[in-house]
Structure 1
Amino acid sequence: MRKLKAVIVVLGLFFLGLVVFYLMKQPTYSIKTEGTLYIVNKVSKSVTIFDLLKGKEVKELSITVEPHEAAFVKKLNSIVVTNYGVSDTNENNLTVINPTDNQITHKISLGKSSKPHGIIALKESNKVGVVTDIGNHLSIVNIETGKLEKQIATQQKFSHLLVQHPIKPLIYVSNINSGSVSVIDMELDSVVKIIPFTNKVEGIDISLDGSELWVTNIEENSIAVINTETYETLTTIPTGKEPLRLKFSTDGLYCLVSNSSDGTISVYDAKMKKQISTIKIPGKKNIVEKIVYRTPRPVGILMHPNGLYAFVSNFTAGRVEVIDMKSFKIVSSIKVGQMPDGLAIIN
C-alpha cells in the first residue's frame, strides 16, 4: 500500500512538473519593434492582429471561410486576404480589411477562378495579383474599385505562389502539379515563358536586382536558382525536407527557407549560394518537447521592413516564431490561432 502511494505521489509530481514546464514554455514575446502583424489562421478561419511594439494581440478577426494568404496594399492602407475554402468547398473571393479599425470593408469575387492562394501587392499601385489553384489564373484585382480587372491563364496546373520582377513588367508563378514556373508579361497580358522543372515546385522569390529567381522543389528538397535573362538553371542548392517557402532578406544578402517536415529554417548566403545556418524550432527532440511545443511545421515567411526580424508561421503549433536576422536565432514567439499560414505587416 505504501509503495502504491509512493508511486502515485511520484506520478503526481511528475505530471505537475510537466504542467509547470508546459506553462513556462508557452509562447512569449519579449522584443519591441514597430508595426502591426497580420497572421492568417486557416483552421480558426481568422486573422490574428498583433501589435509588435506593445507586444499584445489587438484582435482576432473572423473570416468565416478558410483563408490562406495576405498582402498589404500600402497605397490604400488595406490588408487583402485570399479566401481559399476547405477541400470540398471552392471559394473564389478576397476579403479586404481596413487596418484603421480592423473591420472587413468588402469582398471581391474572382469569377470562375477558385481557391485563391498566393497574393502580392503590385508595386506603386492600388491593385493585387492573385493566383488560383483551380482555374489557374493570374487575376489582377483593383482593391479601390473592388473590380476584377483581368485574368491571365498560367497555362499550367495548381498555380500557387507568385512574385513580381522589381523592374520589368513580369510576374512569375509557381505551378505545383505542373512542376513549372509561368513567366507572365503584364504589358502583353500573356505567358511568355514556361520554365520546366519536376513536380512540386512551390516556394518562389526573386533577388533584389531581379537577376535571379529562386524556386523550391518540395519533393527533391532543393532550390533551383534561375537566371531571369536566359531562364537557365545556374545551380541547385540542397535544403531540408519539404521546403515550402523561401524569402530574401530586405538587404538581399540572405535567403530563408522553411523546411516544413524538418521543423527547421535554413539560412543561405545569397551571393555564395551556400547554407550558413540552420534554425531549429523546438519540438522534435523528444516526447516531452513534442508535448510542450507541439511538433513544429514552419510554413510562411515574412521579413520585417526594418530588416531586423523575420516572422515564420509555425503551422502545427499555432504560433509565429520571431527570428533575429543578425544572430539567426529565435528570439520571441507569438501565440496565434489554429494553423497559421500567410503573413502581412503594416509598418
Structure 2
Amino acid sequence: MFKGLIPALFLSLSFATSQNLIVLNKSENTAMFFNLKNDSLISQLQTGEAPHEVAISPNKKYAVVTNYGTREKPGNSLSIYNLEKLTLEKVINLGELRRPHGVEWLDNEKVVVTVEANKSIAVVDVKNEKIVKGIKTEQEVSHMLVISPDKSKCFVANIGSGSVSVIDLNKRELIKTIQTGRGSEGIDITPDGKEVWVTNRAEDSVAVIDVKTLDVKKKFKVDGFPIRVKFSKDGKFAVISCARSGEIAIVDAISKNVLRRVKTAEKSDVEKAGRLFGSAFGDSPVPIGIAIDKQNFIYVANSNADIISIIKLETGEMLRTIKTGKEPDGIAVW
C-alpha cells in the first residue's frame, strides 16, 4: 500500500535538501525554478508583466517577485510563490504604487519594496495582503534597496538622483540622503552591517558608506558600467556585474582592491530588440543579476545572452552555464 508513496517521498526530500535557483525572464513574464544538483528545470510559472527582482523569505518558504511593468504600462503588483509546492500563492495589488522594483523581506510576513513612480518605498504585509506604510525618498528612480542585518535601516539607491536614501524602519521615516555618484543603482550591505556599497554605473565607480556615520568614506573605480554588487556570505569578497564590458569584478572587501575580472559569457548574438539595454552595449552578454551561495559559487544572469553563468568565486573559474528564457535579470538561490 506504500509502494506509490516512496518515489514521491524521495523526490520531496531530494528537492528540500538540494540547492535551488529562481530566475526571472523580463521579456517573457516567467519565473524559472532550477534544481542545481543537476541544473534541471523543475518548474516554470507565470509572473506579472516584466518581472525585475526576486527575494527569498528568511524561512525559505516563499519568493516575492516585483512586477515592474513596461515603459508604456507601469506595473503595480507583487507575485508570491510557494517554494515548497512550487505554485503561485497570490498576487498582491499595490494600487497607486507603481513600478515596484527592489525588494527584501523584513521578516517572514512583510517585505520592503521600492516604488519608483512614487519616489518611495513601501512596507507590505504579504500575509494579510496590505500596505503597512509608504515612505517617501523624494529622489529620482528609487531602484534597489538593502536592509541592515538588525532590520533597523533601509538603504535605497536612486539612479536618477545619484544618491542613497537612508530610512529608519522603526520610526518609518527618511533620516538622510547621501550623494554617492552618478547613476547609483546596485547596492548591498556587508554581513556585519558596517558598510553599504553602491555601484555608480554612469561614472564607473563604487561608493562605500560607513553605516555608523552615514557618510561616504571611500570611492574606487570599477570600469564597464557597474550595475549590481553582492557580498559573499563570509563578507570577504564583493562581486560586481559590469554590463557594458560583459564581466564580473571580484573585489577584496577589506582592501577594496579588484582581484580579478571574469568574462561571464562569449560575445552575444541573440536578438536584442525589446530588451532593456537593446544594442547599447554591442555584443556584451550584459550581466546584471547576481546571487552567491554558501559554497561561494557565483550565479550571474546575462540579460543579452539568455544564460546563467556559474563561476567559482575564489578562482574566477567558469564552471558551466544554464539556459534561461528571454532577458534573465532577477535571480536568487535557496
Q: TM-score range by the shorter chain?
A: 0.7 to 0.9
1:301 aligns with 290
Letter in 1 for 2:84: T
1:342 aligned to which of 323, 330, 334: 330
Distance 1:336 1:313 in 2: 9
Q: Give the Å deviation of 1:196.
A: 1.3
Q: Give the Å deviation of 1:283.
A: 2.2
The TM-score with structure 1 as length reference comes to 0.85
Structure exhibiting the larger radius of gyration computed from Cα positions: 1
Q: Give the Å deviation of 1:335.
A: 0.4
Specify the SS of the correspondent of 2:265. coil
Identity of aligned residues (%): 34
1:194 aligns with 177
1:149-185 alpha-carbon deviations (Å, 9 max, x no partner): 1111112111000001112600000011111100000
| Runs of 5+ consecutive residues of structure 2 not aligned to the other structure | 1-16, 271-282
2:240 aligns with 257
Distance 1:145 1:344 in 2: 24
Which structure 2 residues correspond to residues 57-72 of structure 1 after superposition, within 5 A? 57-72=41-56
1:231 aligns with 2:214: yes
Q: Give the Å deviation of 1:227.
A: 1.1
CA contact under 8 A between 1:322 and 1:332: conserved in structure 2? Answer: yes
Q: Give the Å deviation of 1:58.
A: 0.9
**Greater relative contact order (Cα 8 A, min sep 6): structure 1 or 2?**
1
CA contact under 8 A between 1:38 and 1:343: conserved in structure 2? Answer: yes
1:279 aligns with 2:229: no
Q: Give the Å deviation of 1:337.
A: 0.6
2:129 aligned to which of 146, 160, 182: 146
2:149 aligns with 166
Specify the SS of the correspondent of 1:195. strand
CA contact under 8 A between 1:240 and 1:264: conserved in structure 2? Answer: no
Q: Give the Å deviation of 1:269.
A: 0.4
Q: Give the Å deviation of 1:89.
A: 0.3
1:119 aligns with 2:103: yes
CA contact under 8 A between 2:250 and 2:313: conserved in structure 1? Answer: no
CA contact under 8 A between 2:120 and 2:135: conserved in structure 1? Answer: yes
Q: Give the Å deviation of 1:290.
A: 4.8
Q: Give the Å deviation of 1:307.
A: 3.1
Q: Give the Å deviation of 1:138.
A: 1.1
The TM-score with structure 2 as length reference comes to 0.88
Distance 2:206 2:40 in 1: 36
1:214 aligns with 197
Q: Give the Å deviation of 1:281.
A: 2.4
Q: Give the Å deviation of 1:328.
A: 1.8
1:55 aligns with 2:44: no
Q: Which runs of 4+ in 1 moved over 3 A?
A: none
1:239-282 alpha-carbon deviations (Å, 9 max, x no partner): 12111100111100000000000000001000111001111123
2:316 aligns with 328
Q: Give the Å deviation of 1:221.
A: 0.2
1:113/1:44 Cα in 2 relative to 1: closer, same or farther (>3 Å)?
Answer: same
Specify the SS of the correspondent of 2:27. coil
Q: Give the Å deviation of 1:231.
A: 2.4
| Greater helix content | 1
Distance 1:129 1:307 in 2: 27
Distance 1:74 1:206 in 2: 17
Specify the SS of the correspondent of 1:149. strand
1:313 aligns with 301
Distance 2:265 2:133 in 1: 44
